[in-house]
Amino acid sequence: MKKIIYLSMAIHPEDVTVEVIKRLRDDALGHVRSLTPKMRLVTKADDPLAVEVDIDTNPKDRFRFYNAYAGKVDQHRYRIRIGAGLLLQFDVFAQAMVADETVLKGMRSARFLTDAARALGKARLLHDFFFHFMVSAVFWHELAHIVLGHLDWLGAQGSEQALFELPMAASHEDVRGASQSLEYDADRQASKWLLAVVDLALSNNPSLRYAEDADRFYDFGFLIGFIFRALDALESKIPDCKRVHPDNNVRTLASLHYLDTYFDQYRSSRKVEYRIACLEGAKAALQSVLHDQIRLPDQAEIILNCARADMTIETLGVRAHQLKLVNDKTTFSVGKILE
Ligand SMILES: [Zn+2]
């Protein structure tokens, strides 16, 4: 029987010091900066658009402190803001995962490549990798909302051009179908970006190497499942028909379903093996992290949900607002927002 991770979702107030918040903020921003050195957001007509990324460090505003947000500031400016409370949560999650050696394959089978890595220790290296994984998962998801034109589409409907990820409260009836479809759409794009970057980073990691490629895809699946299970604990229980975000077990499996095209394109020789490893990792997370007798949705249900969301996006005309990312010089400013 697999061990079960029990972890406290509670953040103890005495742990929330200015130093801790600053350290996590700088660590997260440094990681986002490493993802965006040549990333330029442009309109369909190639006009540059600014993207500001920052961390909300004010614990007094609990809603924003424990949240992640994508918004449109003005005609040429978008913003991604991640709450430091969410980073504190991610730090706790990463600590929990490396505390139990049976949970992730990397803890058992990854190898050190340098003396410096050996001195730091596998737990520390993997903790940092998992923390950065969660930060980038959120970053890519928020960026997907922007690039896929979700904020501009909301603006065209006369709605506020802002999307908050937490808490996942019940939505108004008129935007419900649209909200869930926007989340599927963002998860679809974000999971591909995330896998592409993680796959590349782990293939070229100078400190740590997974002995088996399948093991890192298992861990990738586990981390995706873990994030959604953890998010589940942060939201109120509401019936699916009233949710802004899809059910978290569905979101996990849908995110992996969307990766099929990545495996087809970039990992075609062993795609079935990697896909299975990913799915096994995700299922292990869904069944062991904060488990509550969940029934996992079957594949047909996932495919149907994803197809319905795609159809809604088409019907609503969201694609007309889509923007482009190009890879030359950056229009991202990370951690330098001037109010
Ligand atoms: Zn979202």
- Of 185 and 291, which is predicted with more confidence? 185
**pLDDT over 80 at 270, yes or no:** yes
Query: Looking at residue 111, what is its pLDDT?
Result: 85
Q: Give the distance (Å) from ligand 1 centre to CA of residue 226.
A: 17
State the virtual CA torsion across 119, 120, 122, 125 in degrees, nearest 10. -150
Q: Distance of CA 296 to CAs 4, 240, 275, 285, 322, Å?
A: 17, 15, 17, 12, 33
Q: Give the distance (Å) from ligand 1 centre to CA of residue 289.
A: 22
**pLDDT over 70 at 9, yes or no:** no
User: What are phi and psi for residue 21, nearest 5 degrees?
Assistant: -60, -45
Q: Give the distance (Å) from ligand 1 centre to CA of residue 116.
A: 38
Query: Looking at residue 117, what is its pLDDT?
Result: 85
Q: Give the distance (Å) from ligand 1 centre to CA of residue 275.
A: 24
Q: Give the distance (Å) from ligand 1 centre to CA of residue 142.
A: 6
Q: Give the distance (Å) from ligand 1 centre to CA of residue 322.
A: 16
Q: Give the distance (Å) from ligand 1 centre to CA of residue 163.
A: 7
Q: Give the distance (Å) from ligand 1 centre to CA of residue 208.
A: 32
Give kind and range of the element (H or E) at residue 112.
Answer: strand 110-112
Beta bridge partners of 325: 41
* Rounded Cα–Cα distance for residues 39 and 168 (Å): 30
Query: Looking at residue 338, what is its pLDDT?
Result: 46
Residues shown for the chain: 339
Which tens digits make up the pLDDT trace of 68-90? 999 999 999 999 999 999 999 89
Q: Give the distance (Å) from ligand 1 centre to CA of residue 183.
A: 5
Ligand 1 (single-atom ion) residues, CB below 5 Å: 183, 186
Q: Give the distance (Å) from ligand 1 centre to CA of residue 27.
A: 23
Strands 48-56 and 332-334, by their bridges, are parallel
Query: Looking at residue 66, what is its pLDDT?
Result: 86
Q: Give the distance (Å) from ligand 1 centre to CA of residue 200.
A: 25
Q: Give the distance (Å) from ligand 1 centre to CA of residue 191.
A: 12
Q: Give the distance (Å) from ligand 1 centre to CA of residue 172.
A: 16
* Rounded Cα–Cα distance for residues 217 and 31 (Å): 21
The stretch 247-261 carries a mean pLDDT of: 90
User: What are phi and psi for residue 103, nearest 5 degrees?
Assistant: -75, -50
Query: Looking at residue 40, what is its pLDDT?
Result: 96
* Rounded Cα–Cα distance for residues 28 and 137 (Å): 12
The DSSP code for 259 is T
Query: Looking at residue 168, what is its pLDDT?
Result: 58
Q: Which residues contact 311 (CB under 8 A, 6 or more apart)?
A: none
Residue from 99, 130, 92, 84 nearest 11 by CA: 92
Q: Give the distance (Å) from ligand 1 centre to CA of residue 145.
A: 7
* Rounded Cα–Cα distance for residues 239 and 65 (Å): 26
Q: Give the distance (Å) from ligand 1 centre to CA of residue 186.
A: 6
**pLDDT over 50 at 181, yes or no:** yes
Residue from 282, 261, 284 nearest 271 by CA: 261
Q: Give the distance (Å) from ligand 1 centre to CA of residue 141.
A: 6
Lowest-pLDDT range, 119-128, 189-198, 260-269? 119-128
* Rounded Cα–Cα distance for residues 154 and 21 (Å): 33
The stretch 123-148 carries a mean pLDDT of: 95
CB 166 within 8 A of CB 90: no
- Of 124 and 337, which is predicted with more confidence? 124
Q: Give the distance (Å) from ligand 1 centre to CA of residue 182.
A: 7
Which tens digits make up the pLDDT trace of 89-123? 899 888 888 888 888 888 888 888 888 888 888 88
Q: Give the distance (Å) from ligand 1 centre to CA of residue 231.
A: 12
* Rounded Cα–Cα distance for residues 232 and 222 (Å): 15
**Helix extents (H) in the chain:** 18-35, 62-65, 84-99, 105-109, 115-120, 122-147, 150-156, 176-203, 213-233, 248-257, 260-266, 271-288, 299-316
Which tens digits make up the pLDDT trace of 20-49? 999 999 999 999 999 999 999 999 999 999
Which tens digits make up the pLDDT trace of 307-323? 999 999 999 999 999 99
Q: Give the distance (Å) from ligand 1 centre to CA of residue 114.
A: 38
**pLDDT over 80 at 337, yes or no:** no
Q: Give the distance (Å) from ligand 1 centre to CA of residue 299.
A: 23
Which tens digits make up the pLDDT trace of 198-248? 998 888 888 888 889 999 999 999 999 988 887 777 665 666 666 777 888
Query: Looking at residue 17, what is its pLDDT?
Result: 87
Banded model confidence at residue 291, pLDDT cuts 50, 70, 90? low
Q: Give the distance (Å) from ligand 1 centre to CA of residue 35.
A: 19
Mean of the per-residue pLDDT values of the chain: 87
Q: Give the distance (Å) from ligand 1 centre to CA of residue 223.
A: 18
Q: Give the distance (Å) from ligand 1 centre to CA of residue 151.
A: 11
Lowest-pLDDT range, 3-7, 8-12, 232-236, 264-268? 3-7
Banded model confidence at residue 326, pLDDT cuts 50, 70, 90? very high
